Structure 1
Amino acid sequence: MKQLFSLKSRHKVKITVALTSIAITSLGFVHTASATETLNIYNWGEYINPEVLTRFTEETGIQVKLDTYSSNEEMLAKLQAGATGYDIVFPSVHMQDIMAKLDLLEKTDINQYSGFENIDRSFLTAESDPNGEYCLPYAWGTVGILYNKNLTPDLSSWEDFFELPGEGKNIAMLDDMREVISVGLIANGKSVNTTDRDDLESAQEYIIQQKDNISAFTYDSIPMVQSGDIAAAQWYVGAMLYVFDNPDELAYVIPEEGATMYQENMCVLKRAPNKTNAKKFMEFFTQPEIAALNTRQQTNGTMNTEAIELLPDSLRNNPSINPPEDVKAKLQLFKELGEGIRLYDRVWTRIRTS
């Protein structure tokens, strides 16, 4: 993720994004290929720079159609319900592992392409794809706190965040099971991938204790932070897009106790109708200038080491976007939990119904 929607509004916007479909066509390009030269992308809402798609069409003549989803679960449910026609999807790492177990992903051997040399191998984090034979690392970021500096000028931790209601200020959290539960786990010094019942019960009680003070569980919190209706919200690093637009009023912080890290990868579906075109798009995206073009608009992290050098200093050396090593050490990436996810489902139900 998820800027769940990096614009996350992850993108978002990690804002709830309605399912949309847009056709991307090149301007002034004389297209002589057959009508079958298409590519169908299914991605998080607003989680790709439209200019990237336009550039791809200009260079290849391949017309791109983009559909969007707002969660890993929505994407998988649609595919399992029989949706066809999609070529490329962008699952989070733990969802990539789930999809691999379901035999939904095509082996692309993208790691054999020369441009793969630009990819930081430390982001080959999928347990089902440790060498990058299937999917291309796409983007990464953190889930921290966006806040209004007029209401809370100095916020640095989850503890600070949960103290705001006691000061008469509203807060919001994501409507996301694992992200919310993870805050309780992190606050107690536990792994966000634990399946220990005691750990999860403690996290459950931690969040329930805060629940009466949480104004909403929502993806639509950015406008409320901007307006001052709420002082702070759990949100994706894609919120930096709004921070850059209004740095005097908005700020984003990675809490000092730690936070989750999201990573999405670009994968080709096994039943993709345009596999050759999908592979061309993956190769296209390994170009540093293309990855940098996407990152500049998304304001999150890129795994393309050469692209980082092309970014402006405001992105390349921004501690919220590219945090220092001591902060990175406190970031946790979700893993596929197998049957253990049922424990999280139960905890989430108790949180929402308490």
Structure 2
Amino acid sequence: MKKTITGLGAAILLAWGAQGAAAEGSLAVYNWGDYINPEVLDKFAEEFGVKVTLDTYGSNEEMLAKIQAGATGYDIVFPSVHMHDIMAKLDLIEKTDVNQMPGWENIDKAHLLSKTDPNGEYCLPYAWGSVGIMYNKNRVPEIKSWKDYFAFAAENPGSVILLDDMREVLGVGLILNGKSVNSRDAAEIEQAGETILKEKPNVGAFSYDVIPLIQSGDMAAAHYFVGAMMYVLEDPENLGYVIPEEGATMYQEDICVLKSAPNKENAKKFLEFYMRPEIAALNAAQQKNGTTNAKAKELLPAELRDNPYINPPAEVMKKLQIFEDLGEDLRTYDRVWTKVKTN
């Protein structure tokens, strides 16, 4: 789930103050907005006597651009798997040998999805989840599929939202056409764009900022991350989340130490700290997403551990696709996305 962060504990400074010289005994975290339980950072700060600073970003691309522009004060970042691979090719990631640290035995090796780091020598698989549909039950009683979602939009123009995200939105188009979200076929990508363009007149907005709109009923449904379950579980009578029957994308973020990190030892300590089952479970319980830590999953309450949206059954997992680094082929997506956004 990605949105603006609020209300952290006193041990954490919400600032871009990671820039410049970092004092000894500090850790500068650069993460998706509201994507780590503040208590996890508080506990690390207290146990190790470390001052933790947190800055947030809204997309993989924003994070990469900032690092490439010379933001040298950060220690750890949380890229999605395909961005992990891009950053590795750009030589931005430190080799940590996290796979040799105590706690590595707790990590489900099915989450070693990085093509450039198949053995976990660099980054720690962190958290994962589906990207489906959040909806207001007072506006739409039930949604089971992308077909339902767009059919409702056709009858109620302007009442649904798609993410303002090139890969995610074109991924929906590819899924609806029975194609891979990592297709390199220009014709398939063009077809996905046309599929979205056909539905665009009925789409109210492309946005990440959807939660208040769905909660209030101002919008009926939105393309969104499984982190929506944080709100659905608080208000199940009025809110719902579904993984569409045709399939959906999934994300996984990894924790990587930057080569430019001024506090590499503290960063490595954090990787080891986060592999403790009780710490990973603390994060997953608050975030309402999947954990890569098998022992942590066992510690979760049954309503989370057995929730079919947070931890989908095998037959649903088979329908979830994760993005890969497409290299030069991404230019085709850029061109099609520009057409979608400007027409």
User: TM-score with structure 2 length normalisation?
Assistant: 0.95
Aligned to 1:287: 276
Q: Distance in 1 between matches of 2:260 and 2:186?
A: 38
Q: Does 1:347 align with 2:333?
A: no
Amino acid at match of 1:112: Q
Residue type of the alignment partner of 2:102: S
Q: Secondary structure at the match of 2:118?
A: coil
How many angstroms does 1:240 deviate by? 0.3
Identical columns (%): 63
Cα distance in 1 for residues equivalent to 2:169 and 2:155: 22
In the alignment, is residue 122 of structure 1 matched against residue 110 of structure 2? yes
Q: 1:148–1:231: 8 Å Cα contact kept in structure 2? A: yes
Report deviation, 1:62. 1.1
Q: Distance in 2 between matches of 1:274 and 1:114?
A: 20
In the other structure, the counterpart of 2:121 is 133
- For these two proteins, the number of residue pairs brought into alignment is 333
CA distance in 1: counterparts of 2:24 and 2:275, whole angstroms? 24
- Tell whether the 8 Å contact from 2:257 to 2:267 is kept in structure 1 after alignment: yes
Q: Is the 8 A contact 2:60 2:83 kept in 1?
A: yes
Aligned to 2:11: 25
Aligned partner of 1:223 in structure 2 is 212
**SS of equivalent residue, structure 1 residue 106:** coil
Cα shift readout 1:219-256 (whole Å, capped 9, x = no counterpart): 11111111111110000000000001110000000000
Is residue 289 of structure 2 the alignment partner of residue 300 of structure 1?
A: yes
Q: Given residue 78 of structure 1, which amino acid in structure 2 is its aligned partner? A: K
- Structure 1, residues 83-103: CA drift from partner, whole Å, max 9, x if none? 111000000000000000000
Let me know the Cα RMSD of the aligned residues. Answer: 1.5
Q: Which residue of structure 1 lines up, in the alignment, with residue 15 of structure 2?
A: none
Which runs of no fewer than 5 residues in structure 1 stay unpaired?
A: 4-11, 27-33
Residue 103 of structure 2 aligns to a residue whose secondary structure is helix
Tell me the secondary structure at the aligned position of residue 205 of structure 2.
strand
Q: Match of 2:238?
A: 249
Instruction: Answer whether contact 1:156 1:254 (CA < 8 A) is retained.
Output: yes
* Mapping for residues 320-335 of structure 1, pairs under 5 Å: 320-335=309-324
Secondary structure in structure 1 of the residue aligned to 2:299? coil
Q: Report Cα offsets for 1:282-323 as digits up to 9, x if no partner.
A: 000000000000001100000100000110111000000000
Distance 1:294 1:221 in 2: 22
Tell me the amino acid that sits aligned with residue 156 of structure 2: G
Deviation per residue, 1:11-53 (Å, 9 max, x gap) = x12xxx38x9978528xxxxxxx95100001000010000001
Distance in 2, Cα, partners of 1:203 & 1:75: 27
Q: Which residue of 2 aligns with 1:113?
A: 101
Q: Tell me the equivalent position of 2:60.
A: 72
Query: Residue by residue, what CA displacement relative to the aligned partner does 1:150-194 show, whole Å, maximum 9, x if unpaired?
Result: 111111000000011233261000000000000000000000001
Structure 2 residue aligned with 1:42:
30
User: Quick one: distance in 2 between partners of 1:166 and 1:76?
Assistant: 37
**Does the 8 A contact of 1:111 with 1:132 survive in 2?**
yes
CA contact 1:21–1:68 (8 Å) conserved in 2: no
CA contact under 8 A between 1:24 and 1:53: conserved in structure 2?
Answer: no
SS in 1 for 2:244: coil
Q: Which aligned pairs between 1:239-278 and structure 2 lie closer than 5 A?
A: 239-278=228-267
The whole-number CA distance in structure 2 between the counterparts of 1:272 and 1:168 is 50
Q: Is the 8 A contact 1:175 1:219 kept in 2?
A: yes
Match of residue 29 from structure 1: none
In structure 1, what is the Cα distance between the partners aligned to 2:23 and 2:156? 59
What is the TM-score when the length of structure 1 is the normalising length? 0.92
Per the alignment, in what secondary structure is the counterpart of residue 216 of structure 1?
strand
8 Å contact 1:21–1:66 — kept in the other structure? no
Match of 1:192 among 174, 181, 186: 181
Which residue matches 2:17? Answer: none
- Check conservation: 2:9, 2:38, Cα contact below 8 A: no
Q: Which runs of 4+ in 1 moved over 6 A?
A: 20-23
Alpha-carbon distance between aligned partners in 2 of 1:96 and 1:23, rounded to the nearest angstrom? 29
| 8 Å CA contact retained: 1:88, 1:269 | yes
Q: Is the 8 A contact 2:8 2:38 kept in 1?
A: no
Structure 2: tracts of 5 or more residues without a match:
13-21
Give 1:30's aligned residue.
none
Q: Distance in 1 between matches of 2:313 and 2:267?
A: 34
